[in-house]
A and B are shown apart, each in its own frame.
Chain A
């Protein structure tokens, strides 16, 4: 087995692991982390395709490599926006939950204290 295939299997495992975390964790921050794991697993699969495409004196196919660089920057932008939304939610409701009941309780608590 080549190193590329090994890391390809690793990428496949990362996608599964990230998806698992995304499903089972109720906290939004853990979901954001898990989503980034899925993303990096997909990038790794791209990297394997790039490495296997080594030709013409290049160590890998540059097109998927460039796509991954673009992907990492876009993933960071999306993560920053998601974290900002989460912190705003926490600021307004005092809770960081996606459950509609949780935010209802928080609203209740706020009106009680007013």
Chain B
């Protein structure tokens, strides 16, 4: 018995939205990062759904690559966070926003 496409997509949409909401709402940088992971997972769910419903495995391969990518990204991202917060031991890092004009 196959899971319905629409249900799967609804799941994906919900997860994605939750990820977005988490990203823009939380002030903790690590939780922001985790929200990004959530969004990536939502995409994966959509991909898997379409893989099943179209009968071709290409989407699963893509989902696999997405996971690998996420791993790489997390590694580097956390490295950056560690460096940044190593250098600024103090709190109130409002000037991590150095990119501003």
Co-assembled chains A and B: no
List chain A positions with a Cβ less than 8 A from chain B: none
List chain B positions with a Cβ less than 8 A from chain A: none
